[in-house]
A = this chain, B = another copy of it.
């Protein structure tokens, strides 16, 4: 009877196990697939987790970019979206600056306009002009037609690029994923191209607030799905770019941009999230204390002293070297970089530019910036 019962228990346990395996197959497959090499340089992650560090980590926004001769070689052969959509190319481009300059993090080579593409907006990149959209949102109907459906599935090439790159990085540095924030994506989707003031997009928002709210809501949902999928694919940190936040006044920012940022930060809680809302100096306190982000990026119009004061020294800050200053002589770049760290302080700080690195920057100048951070007087962790 006991034996009989034992067999029954065993049989039932095996059955349960089989059921569990079957039920969680996707997750198990994922975690096996994502058995990535161990991380050797975890300086960025320790900083983002609020730990004391020996020196600030450093990386550069748009570091896989047009200042690198290696990148320009690839650029000759493939269009921009070929580079973005071919995982092997995106991987190679992402790793180029790691090999060349040795920053403390890699950021996946991609574009913020992938999400609009996944939502049915046709984005083309026209040389000398930037992004051009064939079917921008022009009417209330266009706006309500935007629906966030299976965005990660449509952007599977990005996930593949992330998984491949994380493997190829072989634990040298963590890999950062990213997305554009809903307000910034809305700007492009309505304006149809880059702009100094995105007047059409703002006009649409003021004239059709319900339709605009719908688009922003779908973009928020899409961005959450997208960033979560990036994390599953291997992103160890994510950054959210609200590049056009500065076009909004403080009240419009609170009404239109901030709720999306808060919802995304709240939902994407698997890895640290860095929030960069360019130009929104007036929202610094709210971004820091209300968003729940692990770190906040600053552009160069904010002094280190103002940044620290507005965030009461409690928040991890990232930034904010003026990208144009990389045209200074290399020794002056080093001097100014060291001074910037002195002013922010070496703790709770990620050294970076205040916006993306510009084309035509000599590689040695980018190196001077990174070296200055890496050579910053190392202090022992107490």
Contacts and interface: CB of A to CB of B under 8 A. Distances in A.
Interface of A: 194, 196-197, 199, 202-203, 206-207, 246, 248-252, 279, 281-282, 300-303, 306, 322-325, 327-329, 354-355, 358
A332 to B, nearest CB: 8
A301 B203 contact: no
Given A250-B303, A252-B322, A207 B327 contact: yes
Contacts of A206: 324-325, 327-328
B199 A324 contact: yes
Contacts of A248: 301
B324 A301 contact: no
A207 B324 CA distance: 10
A261 B257 CA distance: 35
A199 B282 CA distance: 25
Contacts of A328: 206-207
Given A249-B322, A322-B252, A202 B303 contact: no
Given A306-B282, A324-B199, A300 B358 contact: no
B324 A202 contact: yes
A357 to B, nearest CB: 11
Nearest to A195: B196
A282 B199 CA distance: 25
Contact of A327 (B194, B203, B303, B324): B203
B196 A196 contact: yes
A366 to B, nearest CB: 14
Contacts of A196: 194, 196
A168 B203 CA distance: 36
B301 A358 contact: no
A369 B272 CA distance: 45
A323 B358 CA distance: 30
A94 B88 CA distance: 59
Contact of A249 (B197, B250, B301, B327): B301
A207 B330 CA distance: 11
A149 B147 CA distance: 61
A199 B281 CA distance: 21
Nearest to A246: B301
A175 B328 CA distance: 43
A323 B206 CA distance: 11
A301 B327 contact: no
Q: Which 7 A-B pairs have the closest CB atoms?
A: A202-B324, A203-B327, A249-B300, A206-B328, A206-B327, A250-B303, A199-B358
Contact of A281 (B252, B281, B323): B281
Contacts of A324: 197, 199, 202-203, 206
A58 B324 CA distance: 38
